[in-house]
């Protein structure tokens, strides 16, 4: 209780301090000049980039965080704060405050007296009447924003198969596997020595060389995939200059974050803290990739990350779409990125006994719904979608790949790693209800199916419960070819679903040599690609902690 009592007023005081600085009349609020001491730095993107404008990153100069905190601590509250009956106490009945003495009992008496006074009652009635028109206006605004639609206008990928969304899908259709022996470190002593590892990757032209050497691979993949999504969406320098940057946001998450940066910091700390990389804390945080991409583009709309294990990407995509549907933004970059194929990442999943040990034949290791599956195969990479309000996309002449219809997320509240069919069913039913889609209209599902003994069957049961009556239903798993990209999996698989809509072809399930007895093979895509006129595609994800998320796409009409 004492800790909570201390934390709340301290946070409130810091927020008030920040707002005091931001609202200082002598220093007008500005994009780059809100605080004295801000200066311009080199652009994040190297060279001229790929048709994208060069943007600048700002940073505090001087003593950095120490100077920032000193400026906050130098602030004094206004006079009204000292006399307020709602002052803040830190601990105890008559606790101390950095702003002077405060008496809890007298303040409680003042509040009770104020609430029971005639003027207080009259004031509440007046406030209720005054608030009524605003509430009606808010309801009308919400009704208007329901008419907004969300289009997919760009896609960017970094995967074990390809870093181009079209080539990536062509290889999926051909049934090419990206699983191979791990080469980036010696894992000869590990029981698992295979993964969906990216063998060749270059960020030249997308990320400045000095940044690419400093940042974690998950951020490198994210920045590259994000800019490729813009290029793929036809967002040229001219288009970028016409965008309202305050209505453009970035919401790209990560399940694992900067594991390499953090691991290197721990190793350096064994020698001395002086050996630690000064960027180790920010570059290990899952939000920093979205933040740096926004800084590079100058996008000032919603910017944050979500981390819900393997369901991360779907959560990010759904929340990004909601920002557009609510009328808060017109353009969002969203998805996920992870790069955990390092000793501590591999070792951690080995300790969980979650990985396949089919080392002798890597391309056969990931085999969703097959009797011989023995665990999932780790992968790495990033997937980013460019979502855009439909009328905004049409106005700039963008190609519309598909329409986002809706989605949902739920929690199983059941087990740390095991999914529960009822939780998945609840998520799918909520997604259908939100999007107004009938069950019989969903004829394609890109399943989460990771090639684990339990997870594949439980998800299959849920999917058949929801869509089993549809004779056209087809299920497949992209993970059979690229492994499990963790926080990036949902975005890469959503891109595969969008590509199925665009091309009219669904990719095969490779390694499905001996399907489980309770699995209807007629519902699964076979070992070869199949022609399918996709009416509605569902991309399904769930992750450690019981997180479920389902999102729906359809051809634009």
**Where in the sequence numbering do the catalytic residues fall?**
310, 448, 484
Cα dist from 129 to 68, 135, 139, 329, 468, whole Å: 43, 10, 16, 31, 53
Alpha carbon 238 to its chain centroid, in Å, reads: 28
**If you write DSSP's letter for every residue of 165-224 in order, what string do you get?**
HHHHHHHHHHT----EE--SS--TTSS--EEB-------TTTS-HHHHHHS-HHHHHHHH
Q: Nearest 5 degrees, angle CA 517-CA 523-CA 526?
A: 85
Q: Residue 238 CB: number of other CB atoms within 10 A? A: 10
Q: How far is residue 424's CA from residue 43's CA, in Å, rounded to a whole number?
A: 44
How many angstroms separate the CA atoms of 465 and 454, rounded? 17
Would you say 381 and 492 are in contact if contact means Cβ atoms under 8 Å apart? yes
CA distance 130 to 109: 28
Task: Quote the CA–CA distance of 200 and 394 in Å, as a whole number.
Answer: 36
Say if CB 281 and CB 275 are below 8 A apart: no
Q: Which of 80, 95, 232, 87 is nearest to 155 (CA)?
A: 232
Residue 63 DSSP class: S
Backbone dihedral angles phi then psi of residue 511, each to the nearest 5 degrees: 70, 15
Tokens of 464: 């058949």
| C-alpha torsion 236→399→297→300, nearest 10 | 140
3-state secondary structure of 470: coil
Count of C-beta atoms within a 10 Å radius of residue 326: 13
Please report the beta strands in 376-513, taking only residues with DSSP state E, as ranges in sequence order.
Answer: 381-389, 402-411, 442-446, 474-476, 505-506
Q: Nearest CA to 234 among 48, 52, 398?
A: 398
165 to 115, 494, 550: CA distances (angstroms):
62, 11, 22
With beta carbons less than 8 A apart as the criterion, state whether 223 and 293 touch: yes
Please check whether residue 523 is in contact with residue 464, taking contact to mean a CB–CB distance below 8 angstroms. Answer: yes
């Amino acid at each position: 209780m004492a800790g909570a009592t201390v934390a709340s007023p301290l946070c409130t005081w810091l927020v008030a301090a920040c707002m005091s600085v931001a609202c200082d009349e002598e220093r007008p609020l500005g994009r780059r000049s809100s605080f004295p001491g801000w200066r311009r730095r080199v652009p994040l993107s190297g060279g001229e980039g790929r048709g994208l404008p060069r943007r600048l990153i700002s940073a505090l100069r001087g003593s950095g965080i120490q100077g920032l905190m000193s400026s906050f601590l130098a602030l004094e509250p206004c006079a009204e704060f000292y006399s307020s009956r709602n002052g803040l106490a830190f601990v105890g009945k008559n606790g101390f405050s950095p702003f002077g003495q405060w008496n809890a009992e007298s303040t409680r008496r003042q509040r009770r007296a104020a609430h029971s006074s005639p003027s207080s009652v009259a004031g509440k009635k007046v406030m209720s009447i005054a608030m009524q028109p605003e509430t009606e206006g808010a309801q009308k605004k919400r009704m208007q924003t329901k008419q907004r639609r969300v289009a997919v206008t760009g896609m960017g990928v970094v995967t074990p198969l390809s870093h181009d969304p079209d080539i990536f899908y062509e290889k999926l259709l051909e049934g090419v596997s990206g699983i191979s022996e791990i080469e980036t470190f010696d894992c000869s002593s590990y029981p698992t020595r295979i993964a969906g590892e990216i063998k060749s990757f270059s960020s030249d032209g997308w990320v400045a060389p000095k940044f690419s050497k400093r940042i974690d691979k998950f951020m490198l993949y994210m920045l590259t995939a994000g800019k490729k999504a813009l290029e793929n969406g036809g967002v040229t320098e001219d288009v970028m200059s016409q965008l309202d940057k305050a209505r453009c946001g970035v919401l790209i998450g990560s399940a694992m974050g900067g594991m390499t940066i953090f691991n290197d910091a721990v190793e350096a700390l064994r020698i001395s803290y002086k050996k630690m990389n000064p960027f180790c804390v920010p570059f290990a945080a899952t939000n920093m990739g979205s933040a740096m991409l926004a800084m590079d583009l100058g996008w000032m709309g919603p910017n944050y990350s979500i981390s819900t294990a393997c369901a991360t990407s779907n959560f990010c995509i759904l929340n990004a779409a909601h920002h557009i549907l609510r009328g808060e933004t017109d353009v969002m970059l969203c998805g996920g990125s992870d790069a955990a194929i390092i000793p501590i990442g591999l070792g951690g999943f080995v300790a969980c006994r979650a990985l396949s040990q089919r080392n002798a034949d890597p391309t056969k290791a990931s085999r969703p719904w097959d009797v011989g599956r023995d665990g999932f195969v780790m992968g790495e990479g990033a997937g980013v979608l460019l979502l855009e309000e439909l009328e905004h996309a049409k106005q700039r002449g963008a190609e519309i790949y598909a329409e986002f219809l809706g989605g949902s997320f739920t929690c199983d509240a059941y087990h740390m790693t095991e999914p529960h069919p009822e939780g998945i069913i609840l998520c799918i039913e909520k997604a259908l209800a939100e999007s107004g889609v009938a069950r019989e209209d969903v004829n394609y599902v890109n399943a989460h199916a990771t090639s684990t003994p339990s997870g594949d069957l439980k998800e299959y049961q849920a999917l058949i419960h929801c869509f089993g009556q549809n004779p056209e239903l087809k299920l497949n798993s992209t993970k059979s070819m690229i492994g499990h990209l963790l926080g990036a999996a949902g975005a890469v698989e959503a891109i595969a679903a969008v590509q199925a809509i665009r091309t009219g072809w669904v990719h095969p399930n490779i390694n499905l040599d001996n399907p489980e007895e309770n699995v209807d093979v007629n519902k699964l895509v076979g070992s070869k690609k199949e022609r399918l006129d996709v009416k509605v595609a569902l991309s399904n994800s769930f992750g450690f902690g019981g997180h479920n998320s389902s999102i729906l796409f359809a051809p634009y009409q």
